[in-house]
Amino acid sequence: MTDQIESACRQTTQQPGNTLSNHLPPESDHSLHQLRIKLSSTDALPQLTAIGMLIGLLAGGLLILFREIVTGSTSFWLPRGDEHFETLSELSRFIIPVIGSLAIFCLFACTPVKRRSVGILHVVERLQFHKGKMSFSGMMLQFFGAIIALISGFSVGREGPAVHVGATTGSLLGQKLRLPQNTLSILAACGAAAAISASFNTPMAGVIFAMEVVLRQYTLNSFIPVIAAAVMAAVLSQIMYGPDPAFMVPVIPMASLPELGIAAVSACLIGVLAAGFIKLQLWTASKRQKLLINPLFLAGICMGAVGYFLPAVMGIGYDTIELILNGELMSVSFLLTLLAAKLVTTALVTGLGIPGGIIGPSLMMGALSGAAFGHLGDLMLRLPDVSSAFHALLGMVAMMAAVLQAPMAALVTVLELTRNPHIIMPAMFVIVIACLVAGRLTAQGGLIEMQLNAKGYDNRHSLLNQLLSQKGIATIMSRNFDLLNDTDIVPVPVHASLQDALEIMESHSVEVLGVYTSGRRHQVLCGVITRQAIDSFYR
């Protein structure tokens, strides 16, 4: 296909009233020109993989910078680490989130309204409904807004912002090189995989998360570049922080049948909690524009008030997860109190617009609920030598899977975090239960899908558009220039997708388009594409 396309670029036909030329691009543009042609067709896997590796390095470097800024900034008032807000005075725990909310408000005020959407929701929205095009200003808002939120103690995660920054890195590189639009989604997924890989030191989980949650498809042409990006980001992360994952999890023995029964009941309750979290977050977001007080400032007050009484709720919660996983079990009453406060606070502050993620807090909520429910079940059945880490870990994977409705991403995450194959079967067991319960209660899917529905998007009606957006016009364009006859040519760039071509046809009421590639001074005719060819492709 590629050889035919490049040959077509040399077999141009000049039409009356046509601005296209039969000149080839200048020599300095020729290599990039050939790359765009190659990527428009179906046999560009090596080139996409090479670009994916570059994106992995760029995104991984940005996320390491992000993490270092957060760690370095909080070290000024948290000597024990960026999660130990309990070392602050009660007044400081109230004031710092309020000041942080004001700083975030100023940051949002300096950003155009159409660029203020952030997080994983924004990434999925741009990939599914806007051809994978993302903006630099939106990435900067997410980058610095999330830094302020994290160092101010808000109950948000860094993985959502990391996915936004990583995905935008891939998208912007593709736009800068004017690569075919059907590749932008793949490049953005490469950045998202690199983000998760660098955040947790879990490259496999990064790949599955990018495919299941962000890109929402599994194809060879996207899988291989995404894997390459995740590996390169993991290499950078290990150079900086070593080979250990985000959590040091002790060795967990095989579970007994009674423990699996406790885990099943716990998974049902976690599914209910996940559904409640989703609905509360969506309800808060729906009321945001109707508040008399600025929602960001209100979020700061809420976070400060909770932090004043329960400092463990502040931050992502990784320090609390570490304590539970290493057997330092707190009282059941305190675990349940902390769980309720973490769930409600995270739903409120993210719903009010604080630019942070929900993956990290959902893992803490899962660890708290798993440890509490598991301990209660163990006491009722009087089981000896039960590992609290076992129930906490299953709670983490169940909560993450239920909130995002991403079972594979959650399963692979727990496998890479524990590096223990004995956890796979119990994890699969609780994932199935929690996802079914949460999905049944929400009736519309996970948090991201329900947020898209709340914004007026209908994923069912976008499937055909997604299919057409993922294929470049070079895949099916023809070299038969006689189709143009003697009429004026309506042009379409060679890097456009089939969806772009269809939209141009409808806007100009034509059945045939001339496909061109741009040099510095000339537009070179490469082929033609017809509505009939597009219809045949998707039928």
Phi, psi dihedral angles at 59 (to 5 degrees): -65, -40
Cβ neighbors of 539 (< 8 A, separation 6 or more) are none
Instruction: Confirm if 325 and 250 have CB atoms less than 8 A apart.
Output: yes
Q: Of 214, 246, 278, at which residue does a domain stop?
A: 246
Q: What is the pLDDT of residue 28?
A: 47
Minimum mean pLDDT range among 6-15, 236-245, 465-474, 529-538: 6-15
> If you ran DSSP here, which 8-state letter would residue 529 be given?
E
pLDDT, tens digit, for every residue of 361-418?
Answer: 999 999 999 999 988 888 887 776 667 888 999 999 999 999 999 999 999 988 887 7
At 493, the pLDDT band (50, 70, 90 cuts) reads confident
Q: Is residue 165 part of a domain?
A: yes
pLDDT over threshold 50, residue 21: no
- Output b/e per residue, 59-91; b: 16+ Cβ within 10 A: bbbbbbebbeebeebbeeebeeebbbbeebeee
262-289 as b/e: b if 16+ CB within 10 A: bbbebbbbbbbbbbbbbebbbebbeeee
The percentage of residues in the chain with a pLDDT greater than 90, rounded to a whole number, is: 47
Residues 219 and 299 in one domain: no
Residue 23: pLDDT band (50, 70, 90) is: very low
Are 195 and 306 in a shared domain? no
Least confident of 42-51, 200-209, 250-259, 303-312: 250-259
Residue 384 pLDDT: 67
Confidence label for 522 from pLDDT (cuts 50, 70 and 90): low
Residue 471 is predicted with a pLDDT of: 76
Nearest of 8, 74, 108, 12 to residue 473 by alpha carbon: 8
If asked whether residues 279 and 420 sit together in one domain, one would say yes
pLDDT number for residue 41: 55
Q: CA–CA separation, 395 vs 376, rounded Å?
A: 14
Alpha helices in 462-520 (DSSP H): 463-469, 498-508
Q: Which whole number is the average pLDDT over 319-338?
A: 88
Do 153 and 63 share a structural domain? yes
Contact 423, 414 (CB under 8 A): yes
209 within domain boundaries: yes
| Domain membership flag for residue 36 | no
- Answer yes or no: are the C-beta atoms of 194 and 56 closer than 8 Å: yes
Give kind and range of the element (H or E) at residue 353: none
In single-letter form, the type of residue at position 369 comes to: S
d(CA 259, CA 379): 11
CATH number of the domain that residue 380 is part of: 1.10.3080.10
Out of 26-40, 184-198, 237-251, 389-403, least confident range = 26-40
Strand residue runs (E) in 59-176? none
Do strands 523-530 and 512-518 pair parallel, antiparallel, or not at all (unpaired)? antiparallel
- Looking at residue 490, its pLDDT comes to 85
Same domain, 304 and 167: no
CA 263 – CA 129 distance, rounded (Å): 39
> Has residue 462 got a pLDDT over 80?
no
Pick from 205, 201, 193, 184: nearest CA to 229? 193
Does residue 301 lie in a domain region? yes
Domain final residue pick, 451, 482, 517: 451
Q: Which residues contact 505 (CB under 8 A, 6 or more apart)?
A: 490, 511, 513, 531
Question: By the 8 A CB rule, do 190 and 233 touch?
Answer: no
- Cβ distance 263 to 389 under 8 Å? no
Nearest-10 crossing angle of helices 407-418, 184-200:
40
* Number of CB atoms found within 10 A of residue 506's CB: 10
Whole-structure pTM value = 0.84
Q: Tell me: the pLDDT tens digits for 75-125?
A: 777 777 667 888 899 999 999 999 999 999 999 999 888 888 899 999 999
Q: Is residue 35 part of a domain?
A: no
Final residue belonging to a domain, choices 246, 278, 295: 246
Domain limits for position 497: 2-28+472-538
DSSP 13: -
**In the prediction, which pLDDT does 78 show?**
79
Nearest in space to 229 (alpha carbons), one of 272, 283, 187, 275: 187
In this structure, are 405 and 279 located in the same domain? yes
Q: Quote the CA–CA distance of 45 and 233 in Å, as a whole number.
A: 20
More confident residue, 470 or 257: 257
Q: Select from 362, 365, 356 the least CA-distant residue to 400.
A: 362
List Cβ neighbours of 296 (8 Å cut-off, separation of 6 or more): 101, 102, 104, 105, 108, 352, 353, 354
Distance CA(306)–CA(100), nearest Å, equals 15
Q: What is the pLDDT of residues 344-355, one digit of tens each?
A: 999 999 999 999
Q: Are residues 306 and 375 in the same domain?
A: yes
Q: Using only the alpha carbons of the chain, give its radius of gyration.
A: 25
Residue 309 sits in the same domain as residue 439: yes
User: What is the pLDDT, as a whole number, of residue 29?
Assistant: 53
Number of structural domains the chain divides into: 3
Provide the pairing of β-strand 491-493 with 512-518: parallel
200 or 403: which leads in pLDDT: 403
| 485 shares its domain with 436 | no
3-state secondary structure 74-93: HCCCCCCCCCCHHHCCHHHH
Please report the pLDDT score of residue 70 as a whole number. 92
Question: Which stretches of 357-397 are assigned E, i.e. beta strand?
Answer: none
Assess whether pLDDT exceeds 90 at residue 210: yes
For residue 465, tell me if it sits in a domain: no
Q: Is residue 38 part of a domain?
A: no
What would the pLDDT profile of 174-183 be if each residue is shown by its tens digit? 998 888 777 8
Structural contact between residues 273 and 365, judged by C-beta atoms closer than 8 angstroms: yes
Q: For position 508, which CATH number holds?
A: 3.10.580
Residues in contact with 293: Cβ distance below 8 Å, sequence separation at least 6, in sequence order: none
519 and 409 in one domain? no
Stated as kind and residue range, the H or E segment containing 518 is strand 512-518
Q: Do 508 and 442 belong together in one domain?
A: no
- The confidence score (pLDDT) of residue 6 equals 43
> Do residues 366 and 405 both lie within one domain?
yes
Q: From residue 413, give the alpha-carbon distance in Å to each of 73, 76, 247, 381.
A: 28, 32, 11, 30
Q: What pLDDT is stored for residue 463 in this prediction?
A: 60
Does some domain include residue 33? no
Pick the range with the lowest mean pLDDT from 60-74, 445-459, 472-486: 472-486
